[in-house]
Amino acid sequence: MAPPAAMEETAPTINLLSNINDGNNAASQISRVTIVGSGNWGSVAAKLIASNTLKLASFHDEVRMWVFEETLPTGQKLTEVINQTNENVKYLPGIKLGKNVVADPDLDNAVRDANMLVFVTPHQFMEGICKRLVGKLKEDVVAISLIKGMEVKMDGPHMISTLISEQLRVNCCVLMGANIANEIAVEKFSEATVGYRENREVAKKWVRLFSTLYFVVTPVQDVEGVELCGTLKNVVALAAGFVDGLEMGNNTKAAIMRIGLREMRAFSKLLFSSVKDSTFFESCGVADLITTCLGGRNRRVADAFAKNGGKRSFDELEAEMLQGQKLQGVSTAREVYEVLRHRGWLELFPLFATVHEISAGRLPPSAIVEYSEHKPNCSLVEGSAQYF
Find out whether 148 is annotated in a ligand binding site.
yes
Q: Give me the number of domains the chain comprises.
A: 2
Give a yes or no: residue 285 inside a domain.
Answer: yes
Q: Which helix (H) or strand (E) holds 192?
A: strand 190-195
| Same structural domain, 136 and 187 | yes
**Residues 63 and 86 sit within 8 Å (Cβ to Cβ):** no
Active-site amino acid positions: 233
- 219 by DSSP, 3-state: which? strand
| Same structural domain, 234 and 216 | no
| Same structural domain, 172 and 68 | yes
| Same structural domain, 81 and 144 | yes
Give Rg (Cα) of the chain: 21
| Same structural domain, 173 and 245 | no
| Same structural domain, 249 and 210 | no
The CATH number of the domain holding residue 83 is 3.40.50.720
| Same structural domain, 95 and 65 | yes
Alpha-carbon dihedral of residues 10, 12, 13, 14, nearest 10 degrees?
170
Provide the β-strand partners of residue 145: 119, 174
- Among the listed residues 325, 321, 324, 326, the one whose alpha carbon sits nearest the alpha carbon of residue 72: 324
Residue 261 domain boundaries: 225-382
Find out whether 206 is annotated in a ligand binding site.
no
The CATH number of the domain holding residue 307 is 1.10.1040.10
The domain boundary residue, chosen from 221, 243, 273: 221
Q: What end-to-end distance do the CA atoms of the chain give, in Å?
A: 38
Give a yes or no: residue 3 inside a domain.
Answer: no
The domain boundary residue, chosen from 221, 247, 265: 221
Q: How far apart are CA 171 and CA 351, in angstroms?
A: 34
Find out whether 38 is annotated in a ligand binding site.
yes
Find out whether 119 is annotated in a ligand binding site.
no
| Same structural domain, 203 and 250 | no
**Residues 136 and 116 sit within 8 Å (Cβ to Cβ):** no
Give a yes or no: residue 4 inside a domain.
Answer: no
Find out whether 188 is annotated in a ligand binding site.
no
Find out whether 278 is annotated in a ligand binding site.
no
Alpha carbon distances (Å) from 241 to 107, 227, 358: 36, 22, 12
Find out whether 149 is annotated in a ligand binding site.
no
| Same structural domain, 192 and 260 | no
Instruction: Give pLDDT tens digits along the chain (388 positions).
Output: 333 333 333 333 434 443 334 444 444 579 999 999 999 999 999 999 999 999 999 999 999 999 999 999 999 999 999 999 999 999 999 999 999 999 999 999 999 999 999 999 988 899 999 999 999 999 999 999 999 888 877 677 889 999 999 999 999 999 999 999 999 999 999 999 999 998 999 999 999 999 999 999 999 999 999 999 999 999 999 999 999 999 999 999 999 999 999 999 999 999 999 999 999 999 999 999 999 999 889 999 999 999 988 888 888 888 888 877 777 889 999 999 999 999 999 999 999 999 999 999 999 999 999 865 445 443 444 443 333 3
| Same structural domain, 106 and 255 | no
**Residues 130 and 163 sit within 8 Å (Cβ to Cβ):** yes
Give a yes or no: residue 1 inside a domain.
Answer: no
| Same structural domain, 54 and 195 | yes
The CB density around residue 287, as the number of other CB atoms within 10 Å, is 21
**Residues 79 and 64 sit within 8 Å (Cβ to Cβ):** no
| Same structural domain, 217 and 343 | no
